[in-house]
């Protein structure tokens, strides 16, 4: 169990600075997810935490102790990689117990720890198999078992599910989260998949270009995105973004008039972008938005109705039994408190 803190972290590769003044606190036992697009610095931050990459500036603290120069072996951290990095010539039990063999623990003790981990991970019947004889999900579990037996203070995961198919990914993300709830080991989990972040995290750290854009619970990021970038990154289907201006105490753009959300800081004449989540909208006989139906995508549970509004694509999520026909003109509406407003120039939430 441990806290992890980053204080004004800077990272350069040679002359190229990829991280600037990053500060973040991860609480004891927390499941934190680093989320962001390719190249934003997620792996770099994880590798610096593990000691596989040097820290150029600032302080990395684990349980309050500065770790910048501490050898990876002495940080008490276990990392699970995207490709699992299993040893192909070792059976499962040896893969799981290898780090303990290296530390020269007694054979009986290793066996006990490996068996305990295997029981938790449903691998008991597979201990004598080789990695090539396992499914992707089972290999993933072996990689987790290896981290578990080390009884590390912090678990680091770098996109551990990206090699699995959609169904297995959904199952494994539940398994990893349940494992966390049982062990309560502080965990930092990297992904670029916002669904993974939303379903697994206590705390989401949304990153952009080596900086932190927003930190909060999944609900914080969904309900109160701090910027256009955050709004656009979270939510499937993506939030509808409409550029307009504040005129006569309302939001106006070509063809769309909306009331201002209560308590907004938007001021008269300001160029603003309205963010409307498809799931917050309803189709009906009357509404502040009028559009032409382009198509309805059925997802099984519901349908995503695409509207053409002045040439722009606009999505409304509706119950599956609402009947809409292509080319039909429909109305859509949203409660004012569900409207997100952002300054169009800075992207900041208003």
Distance from C-alpha of 236 to C-alpha of 253, rounded to nearest angstrom: 24
Tell me, rounded to whole angstroms, the distance of Cα 114 from its chain centroid: 30
The token duo for 102 is 């290296």
The item of Mg ion, ligand ATP, none sharing an interface with residue 319, based on CB under 5 to 8 Å by kind, is none
Which parts of 30-89 interact with ligand ATP (CB under 6 A)? 36, 38-44
Q: What is the DSSP letter of 177?
A: H
DSSP helix/strand/coil, 324: coil
Distance from C-alpha of 97 to C-alpha of 107, rounded to nearest angstrom: 10
3-state helix, strand, coil in the chain (%, to 5): 30, 35, 35
Q: Which residue, 13 or 87, has its beta carbon nearer to ligand ATP?
A: 13
Count of residues that interact with Mg ion, criterion CB under 5 A: 1
The item of ligand ATP, Mg ion, none sharing an interface with residue 225, based on CB under 5 to 8 Å by kind, is none
Strand order in the sheet with 211-216: 77-80, 154-158, 186-191, 31-35, 203-208, 211-216
The token duo for 95 is 């893969």
Q: Which residue, 53 or 343, has its beta carbon nearer to Mg ion?
A: 53
Q: Which residue, 43 or 227, has its beta carbon nearer to Mg ion?
A: 43
Q: Which residue, 36 or 275, has its beta carbon nearer to ligand ATP?
A: 36
Q: Which residue, 42 or 203, has its beta carbon nearer to ligand ATP?
A: 42
Q: Is 43 in the site for Mg ion (CB under 5 A)?
A: yes
Contact 118, 127 (CB under 8 A): yes
Which residues make Cβ contacts (< 8 Å) with residue 295, sequence separation at least 6?
305, 306, 326
Min dist CB 43 to Mg ion, Å, is 3
Q: Which residue, 16 or 108, has its beta carbon nearer to ligand ATP?
A: 16
The item of Mg ion, ligand ATP, none sharing an interface with residue 145, based on CB under 5 to 8 Å by kind, is none
Contact 264, 350 (CB under 8 A): yes
The item of Mg ion, ligand ATP, none sharing an interface with residue 240, based on CB under 5 to 8 Å by kind, is none
Which DSSP helix (H) or strand (E) runs through 19?
A: strand 16-26
Interface characters, 191-230, with ligand ATP (x: CB under 6 A) = -x--------------------------------------
Q: How many CA atoms lie within 13 A of 332 on its CB side?
A: 31
Min dist CB 156 to Mg ion, Å, is 12
Q: Which residue, 200 or 239, has its beta carbon nearer to Mg ion?
A: 200
DSSP helix/strand/coil, 183: helix
The item of ligand ATP, Mg ion, none sharing an interface with residue 40, based on CB under 5 to 8 Å by kind, is ligand ATP
Q: Work out which of 10, 18, 195, 296 binds ligand ATP, going by CB under 6 A.
A: 18
Contact 187, 29 (CB under 8 A): no
Q: Is 316 in the site for ligand ATP (CB under 6 A)?
A: no
Q: Which residue, 206 or 242, has its beta carbon nearer to ligand ATP?
A: 206
Interface characters, 157-196, with ligand ATP (x: CB under 6 A) = -----------------------------------x----
Among 43, 51, 54, 1, residue whose Cα is nearest residue 26: 1
Min dist CB 19 to ligand ATP, Å, is 8
Min dist CB 47 to Mg ion, Å, is 9
Q: Which residue is nearest to Mg ion (CB)?
A: 43
Q: Specify which residues 154 forms β-bridges with.
A: 77, 186
Distance from C-alpha of 294 to C-alpha of 296, rounded to nearest angstrom: 7
Binding site for Mg ion (CB under 5 A): 43
Binding site for ligand ATP (CB under 6 A): 13, 16, 18, 36, 38-44, 192
């Amino acid at each position: 169990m441990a806290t992890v803190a980053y204080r004004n972290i800077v990272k350069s590769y040679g002359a190229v600075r990829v991280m600037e003044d990053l500060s973040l606190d991860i609480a004891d036992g927390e499941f934190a997810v680093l989320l962001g697009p390719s190249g934003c610095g997620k792996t770099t931050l994880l590798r610096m935490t593990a000691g596989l990459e040097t820290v150029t500036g600032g302080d990395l603290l684990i349980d309050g102790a500065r770790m910048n120069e501490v050898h990876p072996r002495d940080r008490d951290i276990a990392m699970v990689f995207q490709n699992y990095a299993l040893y192909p010539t070792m059976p499962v039990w040896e893969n799981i117990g290898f780090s303990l063999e290296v530390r020269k623990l007694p054979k009986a003790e290793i066996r006990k720890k490996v068996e305990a981990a295997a029981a938790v991970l449903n691998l008991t019947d597979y201990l004598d198999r080789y990695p090539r004889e396992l499914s992707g999900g089972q290999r993933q579990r072996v990689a987790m078992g290896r981290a578990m037996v080390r009884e590390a203070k912090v678990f680091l995961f770098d996109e551990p599910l990206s090699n699995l198919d959609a169904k297995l990914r959904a199952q494994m993300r539940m398994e990893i989260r349940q494992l966390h709830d049982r062990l309560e080991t502080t965990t930092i989990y990297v992904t670029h998949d916002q669904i993974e972040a939303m379903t697994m995290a206590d705390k989401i750290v949304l990153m952009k270009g080596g900086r932190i854009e927003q930190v909060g619970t999944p609900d914080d990021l969904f309900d109160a995105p701090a910027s256009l970038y955050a709004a656009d990154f979270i939510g499937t289907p993506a939030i509808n973004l409409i550029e307009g201006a504040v005129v006569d105490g309302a939001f106006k753009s070509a063809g769309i008039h909306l009331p201002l959300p209560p308590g907004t800081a938007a001021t008269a004449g300001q160029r603003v972008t309205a963010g409307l989540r498809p799931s917050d909208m309803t189709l009906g006989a009357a509404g502040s938005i009028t559009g032409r139906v382009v198509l309805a995508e059925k997802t099984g549970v519901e349908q995503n109705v695409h509207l053409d509004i002045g040439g722009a694509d606009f999505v409304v999520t509706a119950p599956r039994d609402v009947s809409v026909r292509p080319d039909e003109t429909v109305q859509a509406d949203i409660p004012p408190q569900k409207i997100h407003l952002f300054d169009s120039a800075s992207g900041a939430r208003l």
